[in-house]
Chain A
Amino acid sequence: MVDYKQYHPAWGDRSPVIIGFLCNWCSYRAADLAGTSRFGYPATLRDIRIMCTGRLDPTFVIKALREGADGVLVMGCHPGQCHYEEGNFKAMRRVALLRRTLSQLGVHPDRVQLGWASAAQGIIFTETVKEMTEKIAKLGPLKWHDNNHDASPHLPPLPEKEATHG
């Protein structure tokens, strides 16, 4: 197992836990393709299949973080390629707002990320999970339920204005 203490001492023996929300048509299939192609990535992601990122209820993200996840990765089809036309544009707005809200609550906004991979992009999926894991590893454990505070030493100042993508 990877030693995550090298990124942040607070990890102790444990690994980051990331909850993934993958849309059925693109990114879930990209994850399947990563599997069939045997592209390895850190065992930090535990994913949930939803039909479209448009289904992403922001409550799901808060729930995951409150229940012990250190990060949430939402992945869908590339903008313009959503199987339902525009669900991912809705997700873009929701995630942007959510990141803003979270940082106001004292959670590092980078703990919630949005990414895209088409069904043919197993490698992009793999890379995204790797990057996200590294980012979370550096931020340290969230343990939101424990002490209501983010272990990350450097919470950024509240974003002035985060793009909400129209």
Chain B
Amino acid sequence: MSEEEKIGVYICHCGHNIAGTVDVEGVAEWAKSLPNVTVSKDYKFMCSSLGQELIEEDIAEQGLSRVVVAACSPHMHEPTFRGACSRAGLNPYLFEMANIREHASWVHQDDGEAATEKAKSIVSGAVSRARELEPLEPFRAPIDETTLVVGGGIAGINTALEIANAGYKVILVEREPSIGGHMAQFDKTFPTLDCSACILTPKMFDVGNHPNIELMTYSEVEQVDGYVGNFTVRIRKKARMIDVDLCTGCGDCWERCPAKVVDTVYEAGLGYRTAVYRPFPQAVPKYPVIDTESCIYFKNGRCRACEKFCPTDAIKFDQEDEIIVTSVGNIVLATGYDLFDSRRLPQYGYGRLANVFTSLEFERMTNASGPTDGKVLLRDGVTEPKSVAILHCIGSRDKNTNDYCSAICCMAALKFAHLVKEKTDAEVYNFYIDMRTAPKDYETFYNRLMQEGTHFIRGRAAEVTDAARKPEEVGKLIVQAEDTLIGKQRRIPVDMVILMAGMQPRHDSQEVSHRFGIGCSDAGFFNESHPKLDPIATMNAGIFIAGVCQGPKDIPASVSQGAAAASRVLSLIGKGEVEIEPVRAHIDEDRCSGCRICNNLCPYNAIDFLEDLAVSRVNPALCKGCGTCVAACPSQVIDGQHYTFNSIMSQIEGLLWDVRPNGEEKVTFQKTEPV
């Protein structure tokens, strides 16, 4: 078979990216000497339409039976060149990519000779592998038109509405008792200072009432199986202890509930809630939940006050978690962020000095429906501060905590400065490292704040202390910082300190990313498929990401990403079917010895043992193509499609073209042949 193959090799310059380090002409010339290579060319940009046409022409005119493009990573352009092969009538799985950019020119920039030699090896390996490739047909499967959206913050809400408005079903799973996410906690949003609730609540209402949206709050996705177009998800609907068909949301229960606990989620620790609670008045859905950990009845068997007072008998103490297993075609993750825990930086005194607040606490404080009815007050609940310090970058841009910029804190800090001025007569001091106000209209807001008389001090605050050194510092919180504009240490006594704690990945983001089979950055934000060209998709087809779970961003950007995720889902649904890589295991049943070694190795239980024939068989719908069984079969009768034994053995030979033993010493490992 492999003797008659005609292989075309194309070496891409990638402008200067490859050609600047690797002698591309030299490699192209050299590749002509490789066995079966009939065409070898170099070209400026292989991915351009002209580059692709070059391949198409050669396939047509020279009758190429294999194509190798040496360029960037296959994760970048394998689909592009497979497309070119397809158009010219060549099976796309007979294409092989040689990664001489990411794996050669870009990492050996200081040594062009070494980079060129390595590029030759990579090309040689690809040519050898190409010789052994076999034509394959992608599987086609219909797309389930229902989409799962995980997380009901503004990003998830927007995704769900866009898809539902286009006429398709959405299941929205939210962990908390209500959707809304962080935006529901705010009173005003920068830079326009419009009322957060006024713009969010109508959207939440739409989600709750949309005929195409099935809302599951107080729920979590526990398991995900399947592949793009055909996922099976297992959702745990935690017991609310409330019969939602009977509950009217009247509130008699939480008004009578004697168990009060600090609300660390919605009130950010600044306020209280009862054991039976609805997080906030505009909650969607309107039904409360009983938090069994703080409920007195669940702790010591007595109380049941809510049950007595509920006018509709909706309290059900014996309710149990419900498990829902359902199928969906696409999944959008919009799980948002956690606030950085300011206790990790004891020098700022949070948790020790009463009048040090976090950013979210302050959001709740300024909220008209918050614990202080929107008044800016010290921890005693009565005193208005006369001076307030706002410390930027808490936990952000610091290699000891989070090394990235949390993107929104400068603007939120400006918003806070404005709100303090609006609500009190206090002097406001903002301590910043750099003022980052890039997006549209943000700089204008900054200018406005400067006119409002906020004091801006350029320097990261070093410490907040109550140890007075001077009489005017007594009874105050003193912020110590180096003012880098005047090059002097400053101590500013204030009544209140607000720590602009940054946004960080959800505490369980690693777990969640693993559950959905997508990657995470080291920090824990979900990885996009390409940082510039595909910031919505993940490396797992059919799973998309939107909002802060992908990286710090503001509300407009979260909304846009939600809409973008929706449009990606809709275009897949519109196609009606998905193509799935035919990378699967296949057992040659005639030669299987029936040893069953493979059966238990498969992580997906995709291998059945056929008792009557005494052989094993792979169920291609369950197999994901990891190749574990392929490597383990002692009879070597499992074929790992596209990563066959022969193709890898051949690639090894090709890669080692310059160091291989020649002539009679040549080592051969034969795949065992049937006897």
A contacts, CB < 8 Å to B: 1, 14-15, 17, 19, 25-26, 28-29, 31-32, 34-36, 38-41, 43, 46-52, 54-60, 62-64, 66-69, 80-81, 83-87, 90, 94, 118-121, 126, 145-146
Q: Which of B102, B109, B118: most chain A Cβ within 10 A?
A: B102
Report yes or no: B661 in contact with A54, Cβ–Cβ below 8 A: no
The answer to the question of B151 belonging to the interface, with a C-beta cut-off of 8 Å to chain A, is no
Report yes or no: A35 in contact with B106, Cβ–Cβ below 8 A: yes
Residue pairs across A and B with Cβ atoms less than 8 A apart, 13 shown, are A1-B113, A29-B519, A31-B103, A32-B102, A36-B102, A38-B107, A46-B122, A46-B125, A55-B631, A60-B652, A69-B656, A90-B601, A90-B631
Besides A17-B659, A57-B630, 18 more A-B contacts (Cβ < 8 Å) are: A29-B519, A35-B107, A40-B109, A48-B651, A48-B655, A51-B626, A51-B640, A55-B631, A57-B631, A58-B631, A63-B649, A66-B667, A67-B652, A68-B656, A80-B514, A84-B626, A120-B522, A145-B667
Which residues does chain B contribute within 8 Å of A38, judged by CB atoms?
A: 106-107, 109
Which residues does chain A contribute within 8 Å of B651, judged by CB atoms?
A: 48
Docked pose: A17 CA to B125 CA in angstroms: 14
Top 10 nearest A-B pairs by Cβ distance?
Answer: A35-B102, A55-B627, A54-B628, A68-B659, A84-B626, A43-B114, A145-B661, A85-B603, A35-B106, A57-B631
> Which chain A residue lies CB-closest to B523?
A120
Report yes or no: B628 in contact with A55, Cβ–Cβ below 8 A: yes
Q: Which of A39, A47, A84, A118: most chain B Cβ within 10 A?
A: A84
Report yes or no: B113 in contact with A35, Cβ–Cβ below 8 A: no
Report yes or no: B648 in contact with A60, Cβ–Cβ below 8 A: yes
> Which chain A residue lies CB-closest to B585?
A55
Residues 108 to 125 of chain B near chain A (Cβ within 8 Å): 108-111, 113-115, 117-118, 121-122, 125
Contact with A along B578-605 (1 / 0, CB 8 A): 0000010000000000000000010110
B contacts, CB < 8 Å to A: 73-75, 99, 101-104, 106-111, 113-115, 117-118, 121-122, 125, 514, 517, 519-522, 527, 539, 583, 601, 603-604, 624-628, 630-632, 640, 643, 645, 648-649, 651-653, 655-656, 659-661, 665, 667, 669
Docked pose: A35 CA to B108 CA in angstroms: 9
Docked pose: A114 CA to B604 CA in angstroms: 24
CB within 8 A of B603: which of A35, A43, A87?
A87
Q: A1-B114, A40-B110, A57-B645 in contact; A19/B652 too (CB < 8 A)?
A: yes
Q: Which of B110, B117, B522: most chain A Cβ within 10 A?
A: B522
Output the least CB separation between A11 and chain B (Å). 12
CB within 8 A of B652: which of A31, A32, A48?
A48
Which residues does chain A contribute within 8 Å of B652, judged by CB atoms?
A: 19, 48, 60, 63-64, 67
Docked pose: A59 CA to B636 CA in angstroms: 11
Q: A34-B102, A38-B107, A43-B114 in contact; A55/B626 too (CB < 8 A)?
A: yes
Q: A41-B107, A57-B631, A68-B659 in contact; A48/B624 too (CB < 8 A)?
A: no
Which residues does chain B contribute within 8 Å of A19, judged by CB atoms?
A: 652, 655-656
> Which chain A residue lies CB-closest to B667?
A66
Docked pose: A54 CA to B110 CA in angstroms: 35
Which residues does chain B contribute within 8 Å of A31, judged by CB atoms?
A: 102-103
Which residues does chain A contribute within 8 Å of B648, judged by CB atoms?
A: 48, 50, 57, 60
CB within 8 A of B107: which of A40, A59, A83, A146?
A40
Report yes or no: B107 in contact with A84, Cβ–Cβ below 8 A: no
Q: A60-B649, A69-B659, A83-B517 in contact; A47/B103 too (CB < 8 A)?
A: yes
Docked pose: A95 CA to B338 CA in angstroms: 40
Output the least CB separation between A80 and chain B (Å). 8
Docked pose: A127 CA to B113 CA in angstroms: 22
Output the least CB separation between B74 and chain A (Å). 7
Which residues does chain B contribute within 8 Å of A36, judged by CB atoms?
A: 102, 106
> Which chain A residue lies CB-closest to B517?
A83
Output the least CB separation between B588 and chain A (Å). 16
Which residues does chain B contribute within 8 Å of A81, judged by CB atoms?
A: 514
Report yes or no: B661 in contact with A39, Cβ–Cβ below 8 A: no
Report yes or no: A34 in contact with B107, Cβ–Cβ below 8 A: yes
CB within 8 A of A55: which of B73, B108, B521, B640?
B640
> Which chain B residue lies CB-closest to A54?
B628
Output the least CB separation between A91 and chain B (Å). 9
> Which chain B residue lies CB-closest to A37?
B106
> Which chain B residue lies CB-closest to A62?
B669
> Which chain B residue lies CB-closest to A58?
B631
Which residues does chain A contribute within 8 Å of B103, judged by CB atoms?
A: 31-32, 35, 47
Which residues does chain B contribute within 8 Å of A64, judged by CB atoms?
A: 652, 656
> Which chain A residue lies CB-closest to B601?
A90
> Which chain B residue lies CB-closest to A29?
B75
Report yes or no: B107 in contact with A46, Cβ–Cβ below 8 A: no
> Which chain A residue lies CB-closest to B655?
A46
Q: Which of A43, A60, A64, A66: most chain B Cβ within 10 A?
A: A43
Which residues does chain A contribute within 8 Å of B583, judged by CB atoms?
A: 51
Report yes or no: A43 in contact with B111, Cβ–Cβ below 8 A: yes
Output the least CB separation between B17 and chain A (Å). 10
Output the least CB separation between B82 and chain A (Å). 15
Which residues does chain B contribute within 8 Å of A52, judged by CB atoms?
A: 626-628
> Which chain B residue lies CB-closest to A84?
B626
Which residues does chain A contribute within 8 Å of B115, judged by CB atoms?
A: 43
Which residues does chain A contribute within 8 Å of B659, judged by CB atoms?
A: 14, 17, 67-69
Q: Which of A39, A46, A60, A120: most chain B Cβ within 10 A?
A: A46
Q: A1-B111, A32-B73, A55-B628 in contact; A63/B669 too (CB < 8 A)?
A: yes
Docked pose: A60 CA to B118 CA in angstroms: 20
Which residues does chain B contribute within 8 Å of A40, judged by CB atoms?
A: 107-110
Docked pose: A8 CA to B203 CA in angstroms: 69
Docked pose: A31 CA to B517 CA in angstroms: 20
Docked pose: A97 CA to B477 CA in angstroms: 63
Which residues does chain B contribute within 8 Å of A66, judged by CB atoms?
A: 667, 669
Which residues does chain B contribute within 8 Å of A34, judged by CB atoms?
A: 102, 107
Report yes or no: B628 in contact with A87, Cβ–Cβ below 8 A: yes
Docked pose: A152 CA to B652 CA in angstroms: 23
Docked pose: A63 CA to B113 CA in angstroms: 27
Report yes or no: B539 in contact with A119, Cβ–Cβ below 8 A: yes
Which residues does chain A contribute within 8 Å of B73, judged by CB atoms?
A: 32, 35
Output the least CB separation between A81 and chain B (Å). 6
Report yes or no: B121 in contact with A118, Cβ–Cβ below 8 A: no
Which residues does chain A contribute within 8 Å of B521, judged by CB atoms?
A: 120
Which residues does chain A contribute within 8 Å of B110, judged by CB atoms?
A: 40
Report yes or no: B522 in contact with A49, Cβ–Cβ below 8 A: no
Output the least CB separation between B300 and chain A (Å). 39
> Which chain B residue lies CB-closest to A14?
B659
Docked pose: A32 CA to B604 CA in angstroms: 28
Report yes or no: B660 in contact with A68, Cβ–Cβ below 8 A: yes
Q: A51-B627, A81-B514 in contact; A46/B121 too (CB < 8 A)?
A: yes
Which residues does chain A contribute within 8 Å of B653, judged by CB atoms?
A: 67
